[in-house]
Every structure is written in structure tokens, then in C-alpha cells.
Structure 1
């Protein structure tokens, strides 16, 4: 088993391969974040400043896994 893990970790990747992997991971993460944020916008009703609303909205997209967990434990 350690042989296979060592072999996988020894694999050298190009920068373009790293960017491709980040894109393949980032697209579903972003889509789920947008959907989750659009369905949980109640916290934005209390914010008056438009810039704060945008920052809160984008922050919710980025931090949706943490917000999902805190939403479950807060109720």
C-alpha cells in the first residue's frame, strides 16, 4: 500500500496540469457555492451597504462548506 502512495506522491506535474486540476475542482465547488448562497440569503436582509452585501455574498460562495455546517449546528 505504501508503495502505491509513494508512487502517487512522486509523480511530477507541470504547472498547466496543476491549473487544470484546480479548474476541475473549482468549477463544481463554485457552482455548489452559488446554489447554496442563492438559497440561503436571509442573512443579507440585515445588511444595508451594497458593498457589504456583495462581499457577504461572495464570502458565502467561498465559505459554503463551513456555513452549511454552522447552519446545521445553530438550529
Structure 2
């Protein structure tokens, strides 16, 4: 195998890995957005960057928040 073929094969492997990552992350983020939208009562007290950070935190941490029964404020 030449160096060019090896480089193209490696690029293909990295591309495939990225595609799998996107397909795994998409459902996680969709569920996170639904979770954050359903539990955003505390966001009315927050403004600006605090509200944005709390919302993004809920989108990312929704599995933990389900079992821990806490709200990010």
C-alpha cells in the first residue's frame, strides 16, 4: 500500500468515526432539548448568560438530572 492510499484510508476511517459520533449525539441532544424545555420554570428568574448556561447545562446533563431530581439555577 502506498503512502497516498494509506492517507486516504485513514481519512475515510476518521470521517466514518465522525459520522457515527454525530448519529449518536443527535438523539441525545434532541432528548436534552425536550427535557430542558419541559423543566425551564427556573429560567424566568435568570437573565442573559446565566439563563443560556443553565439551559445548555440541562441539555447536556439531562440523564443526571432525571435521577438526581435537581434543577440547574
TM-score after normalising by structure 1: 0.70
1:24-73 deviations in Å (ceiling 9; x for gaps)? 101100100000100001232332x311000110111011101111118x
The match for 1:53 is 51
Determine the C-alpha separation between the residues in 1 that align with 2:48 and 2:16.
Answer: 38
Distance in 1 between residues matched to 2:15 and 2:39, nearest whole Å: 35
**Paired residues, what number?**
59
Structure 2 counterpart of 1:3: none
In structure 2, the gaps of 5 or more residues are: 1-11
What is the root-mean-square deviation in Å for CA atoms of aligned residues? Answer: 1.7
Kindly report structure 1 stretches of 4+ aligned residues shifted beyond 3 Å.
none
Pick which of 34-43 and 13-22 moved more: 13-22
Structure 2 residue aligned with 1:63: 61
* Aligned pairs for 1:11-30 within 5 A: 14-30=13-29
